[in-house]
Chain A
């Protein structure tokens, strides 16, 4: 079956620093792909390239077989199909939770206000945030803010969800709150790519795990292959360091 997302020989550099180095990756439909690797290995950059937030230097990115790295393509249209959730939430502080969620359905998808309301209510109820709908983001806890950010990207019904370290700004209790949502989404059959430092979590939800170093995929496989029995010395080294830091 054709993968939803296909990355072929992607290259990206900032100035002279090569950040994504000849990287190829396939993401099958209804699967979760975890990107692991040390800080600065290029996980966020890869997600931003996929979401067309960064221009790329070489290679191709395909969504449902269509090359989205084609400069002639309507980028806004593509971004609508790719939901992205950021490490720092990036909620719009001047809008209520509801307005954050309904902005894109109303302004981009041209849905009616009632329809957008329904979508927002449904998602808010599901993630237990209906009582916060009229609040401004600065009145919410970090975990609640991140849940709103996830809901906001789900409201446009994306084909693929890109999650960039959605738990790293949260304390351990809130981490579980957000992780259980990601697990739920996985159960719904959402296709996801998630950059994460939570190895335990990657083991639980990911169908494939990629270990990144200096913008290259060093090792790729099931969680038990990459996280539990890594074969490449660099991966083994990284997993060992994570073990020592007590994050497994």
Chain B
């Protein structure tokens, strides 16, 4: 590459830079003005609405919010724990299901059929229903060996459903790898299991990381659904408080806590998605 050190911009380039700066200054001014205008109008509309005083007291009571914060925080800590433990279990089950459904091994035929039935069923039933069925149905069986702890049962229901979703995402990643990659691996003497392990899966998983991050955010929110079984997570904690005082501030607190976790996550996911696309475009003729 030629050295760049002796280069200094021409007078034309300097003019262009001044013009570019002028244009970008103008655009920033326009953006700021229009934002101010819109936000100002929204605030004005809210504050001047007839019910605002009541809403302020029942939804945005700052002192009461501070009071319930510890219990709601304790609740969201449970949501976080369920999410982390759940995603590990989900990852393992979903990976196994996806591999099972994309291999041709004759010995696995019955399992392949079962895996397909499993994903069809759990993708088709609303999560809330699965939670109710597992959470209330399993204890009703009165089996000694099986727990009746609703937190565990609720998590199992979430894991069962999400494993079905996530296995489909991973499977689509596996199917998106061009067959020529498999041909190349097999022609080097790799077995079909080795081809999956070293060539197909690493590429497939890289491709599905962004959608999986999306699912991770949904999982965090959906762990709140186990509150229907009486598990004291952030939502349930907020509900207990607000039904005592008829003040809805605890719900707002819970919502803000969820947002504090999910917004950084979704921002990061967006970045990951953009990264993947630019990389895939650079892959070119592979």
- Smallest distance from the beta carbon of B202 to chain A beta carbons, Å? 5
Q: Are A104 and B188 in contact (CB under 8 A)?
A: yes
Quick check: B202 and A90 within 8 Å, CB to CB? no
State the CA gap A79–B188 with chains docked (Å).
6
A80-100 contact mask (Cβ, 8 Å, vs B): 1 or 0: 101110101111111000000
Across the interface, which residues of A come within 8 angstroms of B285, CB to CB? Answer: 88-89, 142, 169
Known contacts A138-B282, A138-B283: does B180 contact A88 (CB below 8 Å)? Answer: yes
Q: State whether the Cβ of A235 lies closer than 8 Å to any Cβ in chain B.
A: no
- Give the residue of B184, B188, B189, B282 whose beta carbon is less than 8 angstroms from that of A77: B189
- Contact A76/B286 with A90-B181, A92-B181, A94-B206 known, Cβ cut-off 8 Å: no
A80–B191 CA distance with the chains assembled, in angstroms = 10
Closest residue of chain B to A93, judged by CB?
Answer: B286
Range of interface residues on A (Cβ < 8 Å): 20 to 34
B190–A104 contact, CB under 8 A?
yes
Task: Specify which chain B residues have a CB less than 8 angstroms from the CB of A107 in the assembled complex.
Answer: 190, 194, 198
Q: How many residues of B contact A (CB 8 A)?
A: 22
Most buried by B among A91, A93, A169: A93
B contact face: mostly helix, strand, loop, or mixed = helix
Task: Determine the chain B residues whose CB is within 8 A of the CB of A109 once the complex forms.
Answer: 189
Determine the residue in chain A with the shortest Cβ distance to B197: A107
Task: Indicate whether A248 reaches chain B with its CB closer than 8 angstroms.
Answer: no
Cα A169 to Cα B183 with chains together (Å)? 18
A156 touches B203 (CB 8 A): no
B155-210 with Cβ < 8 A to chain A? 180-181, 183-191, 194, 198-199, 202-203, 206
Closest to A47 in B: B187
Asked whether, in the complex, the Cβ of A76 is within 8 Å of the Cβ of B191, the reply is yes
* CB of A234, distance to nearest CB on chain B (Å): 30
Indicate whether A108 reaches chain B with its CB closer than 8 angstroms.
yes
A211 to B67, CA, bound (A): 87
Query: Taking CB as reference atom, which chain A residue is nearest B191?
Result: A76
Q: A138-B286, A169-B285 are in contact. Are A92 and B184 (CB under 8 A)?
A: yes
The reply to whether B187 and A108 contact each other, CB–CB distance below 8 Å, is: no
User: A94 and B284 in contact (CB under 8 A), knowing A76-B189, A107-B198, A108-B190?
Assistant: no
Chain A residues within 8 Å of B189, by CB: 76-77, 79-80, 104, 108-109, 156
A51 surroundings in chain B (CB, below 8 A): 187
Contact A90 B183 (CB under 8 A): yes
Q: Which residues of B contact A94 (CB under 8 A)?
A: 202-203, 206
Alpha-carbon separation in the docked complex, A109 to B282 (Å): 32
Do B199 and A92 touch (CB < 8 A)?
Answer: yes
- Is A43 located at the chain interface by the 8 A CB criterion? no
A residues 116-172 near B (Cβ < 8 Å) are 137-138, 142, 152-153, 156, 169
CA distance A91 to B283 in the complex (A): 11
- Add 7 more A-B contacts to A79-B187, A80-B188, A86-B184 (CB < 8 A): A79-B189, A84-B183, A84-B187, A86-B180, A88-B180, A92-B199, A138-B282
B residues with CB within 8 A of A:
180-181, 183-191, 194, 198-199, 202-203, 206, 282-286
